[in-house]
């Protein structure tokens, strides 16, 4: 049996929209033409791909197998094109990458100069958006990948590869008396107790952000109630306010190197696996990453590994990893 599906997007769009009429409208073809196309395909395959008696229509088990097959073919085709691109050194390649504004400002100044020196023929396009928009960029194929912190609840249609696990640090102003108290406890080998800071002001990230979710989970688990809070959606804002002695804040350890007014700040490791989070490269499932994309990721891994090693040697810390891995 020879089956040639010249328009795999027809099937995939119906599966996505769960409606022949909506798929036809999206594909700019008639509903009758699309129905005939699927009927002919089902006849060739000798299986039913959709259950049309349901509203909205449902994809069958055979349909799911066929969808997986089409996604695998698409991945192989992307690999073929990427491999041809890598053979043709004179042909410009384009790499679309997504970052939050904070991640871009702390990562790119260190990574991008190395990458463009090694791969001068790659055109780099940066997409800087709030974390809440990252999965939308992936699903709409606007980016090849994003680099972001993830949670356990990553969507089923993406792949998340962990680059490193990074600590979430408590940040205090050196002039704050409670910062000095924490430094004294740390020097004496006493564990840092956040209950001492319950009446201090904190500048916290909004509850929908990944870092905030982990911090809030840690606070709830340890029954710490922060009575005075200022909420923001911008990491730079929280750190600038801490630098002005407006309160304590939290920060991913990999961002320490480019913190404004760092000499005014003190960073505390609370030494809890609850405050470890994976930094991941996230991309659409069954999508082939080009050699250029893989090269950027490898440079990022190399950079962050060195940063963590230097920071932990300077602080006399041991590398740690959470009990359960994510995504």
Full 3-state SS string of 43-88: HHHCCCCEECCCCCCEECHHHHHHHHHHHHHHHHHHHHHHHHHHHC
Domains for the chain: give ranges and CATH numbers.
8-84 (1.10.10.10), 92-327 (3.40.190.290)
Q: What percent of the chain has pLDDT over 70?
A: 87
SS3 228: strand
E strands, the chain, in order: 50-51, 58-59, 93-99, 122-128, 145-149, 158-173, 201-205, 228-232, 249-252, 265-268, 276-284
DSSP 8-state class, residue 260: T
Which of the listed ranges 50-64, 109-123, 143-157, 257-271 does the model predict with the highest average pLDDT? 109-123
Q: How confident is the model at residue 66 (pLDDT cuts 50, 70, 90)?
A: confident
Mean pLDDT to the nearest integer, 171-193: 93
Q: b/e string for 307-322 if b means 16 or more Cβ within 10 A?
A: bbeebbeeeeeeeeee
Of the candidates 303, 239, 229, 314, the one whose C-alpha atom is nearest the C-alpha of residue 269 is 314
Residues written for the chain: 327
Residue pLDDT, tens place only, 194-243: 999 999 999 999 887 888 989 999 999 999 999 999 999 888 899 999 99
Q: Is the pLDDT of residue 18 over 80?
A: yes
Least confident of 207-216, 251-260, 302-311: 302-311
Residues 6+ apart with CB under 8 A from 38: 10, 11, 14, 20, 49, 50
pTM of the model: 0.66
Is the Cβ–Cβ distance between 50 and 57 less than 8 Å? yes
SS3 169: strand
pLDDT confidence bin for 319, thresholds 50/70/90: very low
pLDDT at residue 82 in the model? 65
Find out whether the peptide bond into 188 is cis, omega within 30 degrees of 0. no
């Amino acid at each position: 049996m020879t089956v040639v599906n010249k328009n795999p997007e027809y099937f995939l769009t119906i599966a996505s929209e769960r409606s022949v009429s909506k798929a036809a409208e999206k594909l700019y073809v008639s509903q009758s033409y699309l129905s005939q196309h699927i009927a002919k395909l089902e006849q060739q395959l000798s299986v039913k791909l959709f259950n049309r008696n349901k509203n909205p229509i449902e994809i069958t088990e055979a349909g799911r197998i066929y969808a997986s097959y089409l996604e695998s073919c698409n991945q192989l085709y992307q690999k073929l094109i990427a491999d041809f691109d890598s053979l043709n050194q004179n042909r410009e390649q384009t790499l679309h990458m997504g970052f939050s504004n904070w991640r871009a400002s702390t990562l790119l100044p260190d990574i991008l100069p190395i990458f463009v020196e090694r791969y001068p023929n790659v055109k780099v396009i940066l997409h800087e958006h709030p974390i809440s928009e990252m999965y939308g960029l992936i699903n709409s194929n606007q980016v090849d990948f994003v680099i972001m912190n993830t949670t356990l609840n990553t969507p089923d249609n993406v792949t998340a590869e962990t680059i490193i696990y990074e600590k979430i640090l408590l940040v205090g102003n050196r002039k704050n008396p409670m910062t000095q108290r924490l430094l004294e406890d740390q020097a004496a080998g006493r564990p840092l107790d956040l209950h001492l800071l319950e009446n201090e002001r904190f500048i916290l990230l909004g509850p929908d952000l990944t870092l905030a979710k982990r911090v809030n989970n840690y606070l709830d688990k340890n029954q710490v109630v922060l009575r005075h809070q200022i909420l923001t959606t911008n990491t730079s804002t929280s750190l600038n306010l801490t630098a002005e002695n407006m309160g304590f804040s939290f920060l991913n350890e990999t961002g320490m190197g480019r913190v404004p007014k760092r000499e005014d700040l003190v960073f505390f490791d609370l030494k809890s696996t609850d405050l470890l989070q994976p930094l991941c490269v996230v991309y659409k499932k069954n999508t082939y990453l080009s050699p250029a994309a893989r090269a950027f990721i490898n440079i990022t891994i190399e950079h962050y590994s060195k940063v963590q090693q230097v920071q932990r040697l300077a602080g006399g810390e041991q590398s740690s990893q959470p009990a359960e891995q994510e995504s």
